[in-house]
Structure 1
């Protein structure tokens, strides 16, 4: 989930080409509703979004039934040490700074998928 349509489209196209099913949300409330309606294999979250920050969404996801083991990757333009630590502390499985390398994102998702099936 990212509030920037260009980032959503890029990530969606990348993941679609790799055979992943992709759903989008433009803000935190929409993302939470989408996860509640149908649990995904992984959630990609932007930190800076309208309404709720990615950290707030992550906190709610972690408190939800079954949310403790849902893989979450934070994508952020604010990838300084404080933001990265906040993401890890909130329970993110991985924090990637923007702009990010598409291969790195795919490697992170593959790692999380493998870790989920061990």
Structure 2
């Protein structure tokens, strides 16, 4: 990976959406790793520094809110990484729970890929 490249972790349990997210972000020039469940995503974020984490709210093994909460409380490689939560639920409590964690935003599903790319770009540039 070239020096200064932006690295993204995508934690999404739905295979087709995960593949689409990874493909779109790679086409934008980002380096993207993917995980299909909460525990795997958490372990990856602990071991590798990412510039942005995309994280579904409802994941098998560990939900997205818990994953990010645990990351924020630890000292792993991505403990302070900006997070974009992905959710299909318009429930205000879910949105409030997600944004109550430091450095987080929420995008509703179905994902508007142009908006996602714009948000990822602004976060990644700001995080540098």
What is the TM-score with the length of structure 1 in the denominator?
0.92
Q: Which moved more, 1:60-69 or 1:50-59?
A: 60-69
Q: CA deviation at 1:92?
A: 4.8
Q: Which one has the bigger helix percentage?
A: 1
Q: Which moved more, 1:62-71 or 1:12-21?
A: 62-71
Which residue of 2 is the match for residue 91 of structure 1? 102
SS class of match (2:35): coil
Where structure 1 has 5 or more consecutive residues not aligned to the other structure, the ranges are none
Q: Which one has the bigger strand percentage?
A: 2
C-alpha distance in structure 1 between counterparts of 2:68 and 2:35, whole Å: 14
Which residue of 2 is the match for residue 82 of structure 1? 93
What is the TM-score with the length of structure 2 in the denominator?
0.85
Where structure 2 has 5 or more consecutive residues not aligned to the other structure, the ranges are 1-10
Between Structure 1 and Structure 2, how many residues are aligned?
117
Q: CA deviation at 1:51?
A: 1.1
1:114 matched to 2:125? The reply is yes
1:41 matched to 2:59? The reply is no
